[in-house]
Structure 1
């Protein structure tokens, strides 16, 4: 019987995307590589715990949950999350950034300075620029300032991000245009926190890092994994938590957050056919921008 592994999701290293597994193992991913795994027969998906601790009751969680946590572990994880705005005394410096995911989809966010651009890769940002650097609360106030004054969101749904990846502008300059425009408007706001240092607009483009050049349009996306099911395909792109796999009939997107909590086993040889639930991929009209302001 093949050894089962617990996936901890997609990680972004300086060398590119990797699948992380329990015990510290990493599986580097390269374009064209076959990604194939099966879900253990008779298995159930269990809570991944919180803050590095296992779920005390090993609660069963729904297959379509991207968080893979039970209600209590999700509450505990969020209680210690900077994103939840529950930590006010973090002494670390923070970056405020502007990230672009497609036409009409630019958001503001913050990330610890020590993390560099890791957060932007994890979110699947196609283009981004730093906006400022300073203490946590000043970074938070800047986020709120942009939301209130310029109507910039702090979240973009993953479904919207996925829907435009194969239809993005072809040049890095075009992909950076909205970030540059918004950056200029943001640094000119009069209520800018004094303790936050403005940074120049220097867009960074991730299209090549994600493998999005000439990316075929997706035909489907995996909705959830099931016991005994198989995922198998050739990797053509990866962005944020998503793998774009070429399978028979086209490209299917796999959100690796759906893999966490399952016991996964290797699939030998050339692997089996895709045998997990797949829903039709919904595209977004990129010719009409939603508008930031």
Structure 2
């Protein structure tokens, strides 16, 4: 009797020593949503719930070796890409994506941590746009990241629905298959994400939760989108499933007591019941 297929997601991201974001959040989210996680680590960070105190990049050669080790043995269904740090790392990862041709690529353009610490060198943005965004099935910038990618005005954080839809259209022009602009930075009682793809524009709205424990929300959302894509969901449905998961993980975040700053979401709230 043949074994059922195991949905497998490769997370390409930096390590968060505090465990709330990056590779650690990705592994938790992928596991909690029913898929198997493997990794390519692009950087080591010294960080906790209060901020990032150090970053140590991984060499391009070792990133390539990690990709080779995974793809030579493991049948990856989807790749989630997070923190890359600099232009050379972006080029290395883009070359690997072109070489191994995974079925799905979810790109979270990690530029700024929840704490406000910059995680992507400013001169790397053009490389991200030219080399990696065109390879993505979906990119998942938050509002400040979308602003940085478009060199838009600061007013983007309070943009109207029409303006945000227009920004989705502009980002789609960079060559990716679809764009999800996350609305968590909006000053409103409801957070609305805008997704634009071949099927047109769709919005995903959820009530805002009063908690400071939101460390790793972007990593968690993009990783869980990749997880549901690996399980066979269509993109719009994968996003909805991931939105439902992250909403509940934030709702249960205050059940955890982690650190003195912005704590993580509760990835395993279902298992804790």
Q: Select the structure with the greater relative contact order (CA < 8 A; seq sep ≥ 6).
A: 1
Give TM class, smaller chain.
under 0.3
Q: Which has the higher strand share?
A: 1
TM-score by length of 2: 0.27
Larger Rg: 1
Q: What TM-score do the two structures reach when normalised by structure 1? A: 0.26
Higher helix share: 2
